Amino acid sequence: MDCRSKGGMRLHRPSRSFLAGVALVAVAATGAGVVTSGTPAAARSTARIAPVPSPLPVPPVLEMAAQRLERAQAAQARTEERAVRTAARKRTTRPKASTQTVDPTAIGERASRSSGADEALVTADVLDNGIALPPFDAPSEVRAIIESGNAIARTPYKWGGGHGKWQDTGYDCSGSVSFALASAGLLAGPLDSGRLMSWGSPGKGKWVTVWANAGHTFLEVAGVRFDTGGTRVTGSRWQATGRSTAGFVARHPAGL
């Protein structure tokens, strides 16, 4: 910097290199979003609805799904190792002249291999606290349904809840289903159970099935159930067990 005096005081004039450095820092900060003006492009884009904060702590479901898969793969490796040791023992004890060509136990061993890891990839899990854990290979829409369902899993049943506004103090059966589907970008607005009977495509889906009749509706997502009827059992809409679907119509979102 240049130093000059004026009125007995020393003044410092920044050098050109110093000013250029300040300008570069400002440009970099602006590009990184530190200094912005107006509405960011991301905020201007169409966003999904913001889920209601859950009354229970929502764990990082994707991280937990990966941990679940790792545990299943480790269990699979242990099962395969035991099967190899068992087969080796049988080979050493079996008579050489044996006419047996098929080991009956081998069928069961093959059937059990990789079942745990496969289940962790495609089937959801319901934790003790009423939170659902998505399968590791689930499509993004399925993860969004499960994560938004977690947000309202223990909210109270409220007749008409979720129909007047998304962020409500409680939800009825169709309000709960509509909230979860809308959070995944699959529904533009809430539908009652009667209108859900003709929503989407007919039949059961690979990942998501909406079961509906004139008086009730619930979801099956990656093998678990999202149902207001479940709150009477565990306090959560998520249930690991199914229920009778007699009298219900099955619908599903296209491709899921």
Helix or strand or coil: residue 238?
strand
pLDDT of residue 81: 72
Distance, in Å, from the CA atom of 76 to the CA atom of 63, rounded to the nearest integer, reads 20
Q: Which residues pair with 202 in a beta bridge?
A: 251
Those residues with Cβ within 8 angstroms of residue 183's Cβ, 6 or more apart along the chain or in another chain:
48, 49, 51, 144, 145, 147, 148
Average confidence score pLDDT of the chain: 73
Tell me the C-alpha distance between 82 and 14, whole Å.
75
Q: Which residues of the chain have pLDDT under 50?
A: 1-9, 11, 18-20, 22-47, 55-56, 95-114
Using CA atoms, how far apart are residues 159 and 245, in angstroms rounded to an integer?
22
The fold of the 61-93+105-252 domain, in CATH, is endopeptidase fold (from Nostoc punctiforme) (3.90.1720)
Model pLDDT, residue 101: 39
Q: What pLDDT sits at residue 97?
A: 43
C-alpha span between 18 and 25 (Å, rounded): 11
CB 185 within 8 A of CB 254: no
Tokens matching residue 87: 């087969």
> What is the Cα–Cα distance from 181 to 251, expressed in whole angstroms?
12
DSSP H helices, 184-242, are: 193-196
For residue 221, what is the enclosing H or E element? Answer: strand 217-221
